[in-house]
Amino acid sequence: MKEAAKYGRIDSLQPPYSLFWRQVEKDAMPYCVENNISIIAYSPLAQGLLTGKFAADHKFDPQDNRAKNKLLQGENYQRAQQALDKLRPIAHRHNCTLAQLALFWLIAQPQANAIAGARHSEQAIANAKSADVKLSENELQEIDAIGRIVTDHLDDNSVMWNW
Ligand SMILES: NC(=O)c1ccc[n+]([C@@H]2O[C@H](COP(=O)([O-])OP(=O)(O)OC[C@H]3O[C@@H](n4cnc5c(N)ncnc54)[C@H](OP(=O)(O)O)[C@@H]3O)[C@@H](O)[C@H]2O)c1
């Protein structure tokens, strides 16, 4: 990014970023914060995992690219279920969904915005309402710590899929 910035202004970076996938915080985020570059997060719901709708024994269709997502496999997936169980009471307290909680946490991070994917208009409307969730600084930190149940076990590879 430093090299590219020699040739023109960089307005935004589009990395994978969510409560369960946070490598950007270690590499590009400090540079983005310092240089006022927007972080436009893709897969902010970890491809739907953060909605909490997939059961512990869910099997993805091999044609679905989620079948190759590292977060949706093996121990990562089981850790994600543990983390989601800890997030549920916080969402319940705020009368919001897990998706809204995860998106609000994300857009509260420095320079962060979310491209929340949606298959149906209802999902898009519900996801947009994440901006209405109100969480205290303590709650954001609590959610942060819960996310680390998953992220502390990931390596630095920023590619989310085993293609
Ligand atoms: N720059 C890049 O390399 C790159 C890579 C990937 C994606 N993107 C962009 O980022 C966008 C979002 O990423 P993404 O689609 O990978 O992941 P995401 O936003 O984390 O997850 C989106 C999926 O989660 C499910 N979902 C979303 N909201 C929901 C809700 N309220 N309730 C229940 N399920 C919900 C939907 O799938 P189901 O209903 O099928 O479960 C939806 O397709 C994409 O549309 C794309 O524009 C960019």
Q: 29-45: per-residue pLDDT in tens? A: 999 999 999 999 999 99
Residue at 156 is within a domain: no
Residue 63 belongs to a domain with what CATH number?
Answer: 3.20.20.100
CB-ligand 1 contact for 41 (6 Å cutoff)? no
Number of structural domains the chain divides into: 1
Ligand 1 atom 17: residue of nearest CA: 43
Structural domain harbouring 35: 2-151
Residue at 119 is within a domain: yes
What per-residue string of b and e applies to 114-144 under the rule 16 or more CB within 10 Å gives b?
bebeeeeeebeebbeebeebebeeebeebbe
In this predicted structure, the answer to whether residue 49 has a pLDDT above a threshold of 90 is yes
Residue at 62 is within a domain: yes
- Residue range 40-58: average pLDDT? 97
Confirm whether pTM is higher than 0.95: yes
Ligand 1 atom 21: residue of nearest CA: 47
Q: What is the pLDDT of residue 66?
A: 97
* 8 Å CB contact between 50 and 99: yes
Query: What pLDDT band is residue 163 in, cutting at 50, 70 and 90?
Result: confident
Phi, psi dihedral angles at 89 (to 5 degrees): -65, -30
Q: How far apart, in whole angstroms, are the C-alpha atoms of residue 78 and residue 8?
A: 44
What pLDDT, in 10s, does the model give residues 67-120? 999 999 999 999 999 999 999 999 999 999 999 999 999 999 999 999 999 999
Distance 45 CA to ligand 1 centre (A): 7
Instruction: Identify the sign of the CA torsion 135, 147, 86, 62.
Output: positive
The residue behind tokens 């919001």 is 96
Residue at 160 is within a domain: no
Ligand 1 atom 45: residue of nearest CA: 117
Tokens of 84: 């989601």
Residue at 157 is within a domain: no
Phi, psi dihedral angles at 83 (to 5 degrees): -65, -45
Residue at 103 is within a domain: yes
Residue at 58 is within a domain: yes
The percentage of residues in the chain with a pLDDT greater than 90, rounded to a whole number, is 98
Residue at 161 is within a domain: no
Distance 119 CA to ligand 1 centre (A): 8
Q: Give ∠ CA 107-30-141 in degrees, rounded to 5.
A: 45
- Residue range 18-35: average pLDDT? 97
2 CB contacts (<8 Å, ≥6 apart)?
31
